[in-house]
Amino acid sequence: MSDFFKKSDLTRKQAESIISDTLRKCDDGELYLENTKSETILLDDNKIKNSNYNSDLGFGFRAISDEIVAYSHSNEISKNSLKQSSENLKSTLKSANGIYNYSIPKSNKKYYDNINPIEQKTLNSKLEILNKVNEYLRSKDDNVKQVTANFLGEQKSIEIIRSGGETLTDARPLTRFNVSVMLEKNGRKETGIYGVGGRESYDTYLKEDNWKKVCDEALRIASVNLESKPAPAGEMKVVLGPGWPAILIHEAVGHGLEGDFNRKKTSAFHNLMGQKVASEGVTIVDDGTLNKRRGSLSIDDEGTPTEKTVLIENGILKNFMQDRLNARLMKTKSTGSGRRENYRHIVLPRMRNTMMLSGKQTQDEMIKSVDKGIFAVSFGGGQVDITSGKFVFNCTEAYEIINGKIGYPIKGATLIGDGPSILKEVSMVGNDMMLDPGIGTCGKAGQGVPVGVAQPSILIDKMTVGGTKL
Amino acid sequence: MVKDQEYLIKKASYCLDLAKKYGATNSSIIVNNSISETVNFRNQKLDESNRSDNLSVNITTYINKKKSSISSSNLLDDNLETLIEKCVETTKNTPDDEFNSLPDNNLLVKEVKNLDLYDDTNFENDQKIDYLKNLEAAAANDDKIINTESGFTQNKSNFILANSEGFCKGYKRSSFTASSVTVAKNEESMERDYEYSSKCHIKDLKDAEELGKLAASQTLRKLNPKKIESEKIAIIFDKRIAKGILSTFANAISSSSISRGTSFLKDKINQKIFSSSINILDKPDILKGLGSRSFDSEGVKTETLKLVENGILKEYLLDTYNGKKLKLKSNGRCGGTTNLYFENGNINYKDLLDLNSKSLYITETIGHGSNIVTGDYSVGATGFLVENGEFKHPINEITIAGNFKDMFNNLNLANDLEFEYSTNSPTLMIEGMVVAGK
C-alpha cells in the first residue's frame, strides 16, 4: 500500500483538516489519492519495439453542493498544492449550504489479491515469451506477414479520505496479453486479433499452453477473414455467439441505464423504470464482484463496495447504475458504480461486468431457425448515441446464414440497431453463457475504464447489417 | 501559472545527466506542464468546475542500438533518479534494433519561428460563466430543447524537448474551447447534436450566442428521423466529419503502417490514389493554427508537405525510426500531421448538393469502422436525405459502407474550406457508396 504522505511536506493530519474545512458546507466530496505503476512491452515486426514503464502519482479533490461538482487535481502532493485546490473548490461553491453525508457502506470483501504483476515476473521472461509468440506464429503459417504481441501490466493503489478523516483504500492489479497477426495471400491482407486479461498475475497466461491458445485464436480469425466475401446490406436476422459479442448489451442498453443520463432525462430509458424493455427470459446484471475479472472492483472510486446490480429481470427494467451524486439526487443508493479513469477525472456512474444470463435454447436451434441472416462470433468496438438510442458495433468474424446453415465468412461490417427496442427483438436466449476473455475498455466522456461483458448465444429477429452487397 | 522554461530546462538537464551517469550512450526527454480550467453549465446553471494541473516527463534512454523508455508525473528528484536507473537497466536487457537512434543532427530545427500560438490572457472563471450564460440562453430558446450542457476550457501549456546531443527547445501554447450539446424532444423522437469552437487566442473564439444558436438548430432539425431503404447512393460528408476521411488517410500513410506493411496504401507512392483534381497539404507554419508546430516530437524541423498532388501520393509521414527502415529521411512527422487539409475543390456548396437528384448528407458517424489494412469502411450514420438540392428529412439508424480505394477515386470537393480544426476539409461528396437501412 502506498504511503502518500511519506515524501511530502503535508502530513495526513494537515490533509484531513484541509479536507474537513473545505467540505464543511458541502453535501459530499473527498480527497482521492492514486499511485499507479504500469508497463507496456511490445513486440512488433520481429523486434522488441517498445518497453515502457510508467509511474503516475497525483490527487483529485472533489466537493459537491447540490448538483454542482467542483474538482481540482494535481501531481504535486504538497501543502501548497492541496491548499490551492481547496481555494479553487471554495470559490466555485461560495454559496454551498448543505449537510455532509458521512455515511458510506463498508465491506471487507476483496475480489483480487494485493499483488504487483510487474514485479512478479522478470523482464527477460516476458521478452522471451514475446519472441516465442513471434516464432510460433511465423512457423505455423507461411502467410503470416506481421505479428504484434504485447504485455500490459499495472498496479493501481488508491486512498480515499472523506471529511472527518474516514479512509478507504484499495490496490488493484490488472494485466493483459494481446496478439495481432496479419496474413497475406494472393495480394489480399487480413488481420486477426485476440487477447486475454484480468486482475491477476501474468502467470495465468504465460504457461506454455495458454499463450499458444491466444496465438491460435488470432491466427484462426485472420485465416477465416482471408476467405471472407462482401457482407450483405439491410435488415435481417442476427445470431450472436456467446461471450465477447455481449458488447452489444453494453452499448445497446448498458450506457442507457447509467444514473447520470437518467437523472438528466437524456437517456432513451429514463421513463421506462418498471416497464417491459426486453423479451421475457432476458435478464441483465452488472456485477463488480466476480473474482479477478477485468471489470471487478472491491470498492468503487468513491469507496462504496461493489455489488451485483440487477438491471433487467425477465424483461422488466429494475435498476439504474448509480454513483453517490446521482443516487442522492434520484433519492436512491449508490450501486458501487462510481468510477474514474484516474485522479485526473471526475467520478461517473459506469459499468463493471455487464452480463446477460443464460436461457434455455441452443445455438444450433437458433441457426436452424434462420432462412437468411448472419452469425456474428467476434467484434471489434462499439458505440452508442444515448439520446436517440442508436448503437453500432463492428464484426470482426461473422458468417452468412442461408436456410438454417452457416455459409461463407463475411467481411467486417458495422451492425446498427435501436437500444430500447433491440432487446424486444431477442427471440431466443441460449443456455451457453460465457464471459469475455478480459480485454474490454469502455469509453465515456473521454475516460477509459476496464470492463467485462458476458452473454449466451442469442437470436435477434431484426437488425441492420452495414455491408456493401445489396 | 504554468511552469516556466527555466524550471523545465532544469528538470530536463537533471534527467539527461543522470541517464549518462547510469550508462546511457544517448537519451532524450520531454518535460511538459499543462494547466487547464474548465467550467461546465447544464440547463443554464453552473454544473461543474474543474482545474487540472498536469506535470509529465518522458525519457528514452539508448545504449547504442538498445532502447527503452519511462514516463512519470512524479517529478521529485529522488523518484526521477529511481526511474532513470530502472530505465537504463531495462535498456541493457532489451535486444538491439539497428534502426534505433536519435534524429540526424542536420534535420533538427535551428530556429523556432514565432507562430503566435500563445495568448497570455487569463479568462477568469467568472468570465467563462458569463460566456456560458449567453451561450445557453441562446441554445435553450426553443421549447423543444429539453437539455443543454455546455463547457468552457482554458488550457495553457509549456514544454521542453531535449536530448543528449545538445538539442533543447520548447515553447508555450494556449487554447480556449467552448462547446455545447443540446437535446431536443417532441412526441415522436429525442435527438442530440452539438457545436464547438477552439482557438489559440480568446478573441478568435466563436461568439457565445452564435455557438448556442447553432447547437440548438443542428439538434432541432434532426427531430422525426426516418429510416430509408438500402441502396447505392452518393454520400455528402458535412465538413465536421469530412475531416475524418483525411485522418484515416493520414493513418494509412504513416511510416509505421507503411514499414510494417499494414496499410492499404503501401507501395502506392507516386501512384494515383485520388481523382486527379485532389491536392492534400500538411502545413505546419499557419499562424495561430491549432496543429502548427516548428518541430516534431523528436526535434526534427517541420516543413509544408504536399502529400497528394493532382491525385498522386507524393509523401509518407516519416519519423526517424521508420524513416531509416524505409531508407528515407524523417520529414518531421513524428507524432503525426500538423495542419492537414484538402485544397478547395472547384464547385460551390449549393452546386455539390445539386450534383445528384438524390443523395445523403451525413452529419455524424458512429463506430470504429475504418480498417486501414484492407481499406474497408463501414460505420453507423445520421444525416438528411437531399433531393434536387433540398434537405427533405432527417435520417438515422443506417450504415454507410465502401472501400477507401474506391472512395478516394470517387471523391468530389466543394470550395468552402475553413480552418476550424487542425485537420480540415471542404464539404465532400463520394459517389457509389452503399447505404444499409431497411
Dmax (CA) of chain A? 73
CA separation (Å) from A309 to A252, A270, A421, B195? 17, 17, 22, 36
A416 and B68 within 8 Å at the Cβ level: the answer is no
How far away is chain B from the Cα of A109, in angstroms, using its nearest Cα? Answer: 31
Average pLDDT across chain A, whole number: 94
Write the single-letter amino acid at A361: Q
Would you say residue A2 has pLDDT above 80? no
Task: Look up cell 447540490; give the residue.
Answer: A66
Task: Look up cell 450504415; give the residue.
Answer: B399
Task: Look up cell 537519451; give the residue.
Answer: B27
A412 and B376 within 8 Å at the Cβ level: the answer is yes
- For chain B, say whether A468 makes contact (Cβ under 8 Å): yes
Instruction: Tell me which chain B residue has its CA closest to the CA of residue A229.
Output: B376
- For chain B, say whether A398 makes contact (Cβ under 8 Å): no
Q: What is the DSSP letter of A254?
A: I
What does pTM read for this prediction? 0.93
What is the rounded distance in angstroms from the CA atom of residue A222 to the CA atom of residue A229? 14
Would you say residue A206 has pLDDT above 80? no
Q: Which helix (H) or strand (E) holds A396?
A: strand A390-402
CA separation (Å) from B368 to B244, B372, B432? 11, 11, 21
Handedness of CA B198, B199, B202, B206 (dihedral sign): negative
- Give the mean model confidence (pLDDT) for residues B295-300: 97
Nearest Cα to B147, choosing from A222, A18, A263? A263
Angle between the A208-226 and A123-140 helix axes, to the nearest 10 degrees?
Answer: 40
CA geometry: angle B266, B268, B273, nearest 5 deg: 120
Nearest Cα to A246, choosing from A467, A431, A452, A461? A452
B51 and A123 within 8 Å at the Cβ level: the answer is no
Nearest Cα to A458, choosing from A293, A186, A200, A245? A245
Distant-in-sequence, close-in-space partners of B3: CB < 8 Å, separation ≥ 6: B33, B55, B158
3 state SS of A208: helix
Q: Which residues of A, range 268-307, sit inside 8 Å of B by Cβ?
A: 268
Quick check: B88 and B63 in contact, CB under 8 A?
yes
CA separation (Å) from B174 to A67, A342, B33, B208, B289? 30, 24, 12, 19, 11
- Give the mean model confidence (pLDDT) for residues A351-360: 97
Partner residue opposite A191 with nearest CB, options B69, B147, B373: B373
Distant-in-sequence, close-in-space partners of B376: CB < 8 Å, separation ≥ 6: A411, A412, B369, B401, B403, B404
pLDDT band at A386 (very low <50, low <70, confident <90, very high): confident
Write the single-letter amino acid at B30: I
What is the rounded distance in angstroms from the CA atom of residue A83 to the CA atom of residue A89? 10
Nearest Cα to B136, choosing from B41, B253, B260? B41
Instruction: Tell me which chain B residue has its CA closest to the CA of residue A388.
Output: B191
B401 and A52 within 8 Å at the Cβ level: the answer is no
Q: What is the DSSP letter of A368?
A: H
pLDDT band at A1 (very low <50, low <70, confident <90, very high): low
B434 and A470 within 8 Å at the Cβ level: the answer is yes
Average pLDDT across chain B, whole number: 96
- Give the mean model confidence (pLDDT) for residues B16-38: 97
- Give the mean model confidence (pLDDT) for residues B1-27: 96
Interface test with A, best of B53, B88, B125, B407 (most A CBs within 10 A): B53
Q: pLDDT by residue (tens digit) across B91-113?
A: 999 999 999 999 999 999 999 99
Quick check: A32 and A100 in contact, CB under 8 A?
no
Partner residue opposite A53 with nearest CB, options B47, B86, B436: B86
Nearest Cα to A233, choosing from B226, B438, B225? B438
Distant-in-sequence, close-in-space partners of A331: CB < 8 Å, separation ≥ 6: none
Nearest Cα to A468, choosing from B236, B234, B435, B397? B435
CA geometry: angle B83, B158, B168, nearest 5 deg: 65
How far away is chain B from the Cα of A192, in angstroms, using its nearest Cα? Answer: 11
For B261, the grid coordinates are 506493411
B401 and A233 within 8 Å at the Cβ level: the answer is yes
Write the single-letter amino acid at B223: L
> Please, what's the b/e burial string for B186-214 (b: 16 or more CB within 10 A of its CB; e: otherwise)?
eeebbbbbbbbbbbbbbeebbebeebbbb
Question: What pLDDT is stored for residue B194 in this prediction?
Answer: 97
What is the rounded distance in angstroms from the CA atom of residue B300 to the CA atom of residue B104? 8
Question: What pLDDT is stored for residue A7 in this prediction?
Answer: 85
Q: What is the 3-state secondary structure of A54-88?
A: EEEEEEEEEEEECCEEEEEEECCCCHHHHHHHHHH
Task: Look up cell 459530499; give the residue.
Answer: A28
pLDDT band at A3 (very low <50, low <70, confident <90, very high): confident
CA B101 to chain centre: 27
Partner residue opposite B74 with nearest CB, options A48, A55, A413: A55
Partner residue opposite A468 with nearest CB, options B53, B189, B401: B401
Instruction: Tell me which chain B residue has its CA closest to the CA of residue A469.
Output: B434
CA separation (Å) from B123 to B1, B36, B152, B203? 13, 11, 10, 11
Quick check: A5 and A77 in contact, CB under 8 A?
yes
Q: Which residues of B, range 274-333, sit inside 8 Å of A by Cβ?
A: none
- For chain B, say whether A55 makes contact (Cβ under 8 Å): yes
3 state SS of A13: helix
Angle between the B208-220 and B125-139 helix axes, to the nearest 10 degrees?
Answer: 40
A56 chain-B contacts, CB cut-off 8 A: 72-74
What is the rounded distance in angstroms from the CA atom of residue B57 to the CA atom of residue B13? 12
Dmax (CA) of chain B? 72
What is the rounded distance in angstroms from the CA atom of residue B416 to the CA atom of residue B258? 32
A76 chain-B contacts, CB cut-off 8 A: 53, 55
Q: pLDDT by residue (tens digit) across B371-421?
A: 999 999 999 999 999 999 999 999 999 999 999 999 999 999 999 999 999
Q: pLDDT by residue (tens digit) across B334-376?
A: 999 999 999 999 999 999 999 999 999 999 999 989 999 999 9
- For chain A, say whether B379 makes contact (Cβ under 8 Å): yes
Nearest Cα to B396, choosing from B239, B244, B240, B192? B192
A464 and B436 within 8 Å at the Cβ level: the answer is yes
Cα(first)–Cα(last) distance of chain B, in Å? 56
Q: Which residues of B, range 45-84, sit inside 8 Å of A by Cβ?
A: 45-56, 68-76, 78-79, 83
Quick check: A408 and A400 in contact, CB under 8 A?
yes
A414 and B83 within 8 Å at the Cβ level: the answer is no
> Between A204 and B393, whose confidence is greater?
B393
- Give the mean model confidence (pLDDT) for residues A239-255: 94
A381 chain-B contacts, CB cut-off 8 A: 367-368
Q: Which residues of A, range 98-117, sit inside 8 Å of B by Cβ?
A: none
Instruction: Tell me which chain B residue has its CA closest to the CA of residue A383.
Output: B367
B260 and A414 within 8 Å at the Cβ level: the answer is no
Partner residue opposite A414 with nearest CB, options B232, B367, B403: B367
What is the rounded distance in angstroms from the CA atom of residue A231 to the CA atom of residue A409? 9
What is the rounded distance in angstroms from the CA atom of residue B239 to the CA atom of residue B414? 10
CA geometry: angle A158, A159, A162, nearest 5 deg: 145
Q: What is the 3-state secondary structure of chain B?
A: CCCCHHHHHHHHHHHHHHHHHCCCCEEEEEEEEEEEEEEEEECCEEEEEEEEEEEEEEEEEEECCEEEEEEECCCCHHHHHHHHHHHHHHHHCCCCCCCCCCCCHHHECCCCCCCCCCCCCCCCHHHHHHHHHHHHHHHCCCCCEEEEEEEEEEEEEEEEEEECCCCEECCEEEEEEEEEEEEEECCCCEEEEEEEEEECCHHHCCCHHHHHHHHHHHHHCCCCCECCCCEEEEEEECHHHHHHHHHHHHHHCEHHHHHHCCCCCCCCCCCECCCCCCCEEECCCCCCCCCCCCECCCCEECCCEEEEECCEECCCECCHHHHHHCCCCCCCCCCCCCCEEECCCCECHHHHHHCCCEEEEEEEEECCCECCCCCEEEEEEEEEEEECCEEEEEEEEEEEEEEHHHHHHCEEEECCCCCCCCEECCCEEEEEEEEECC
Partner residue opposite A388 with nearest CB, options B87, B190, B403: B190
Would you say residue A412 has pLDDT above 80? yes
A76 and B55 within 8 Å at the Cβ level: the answer is yes
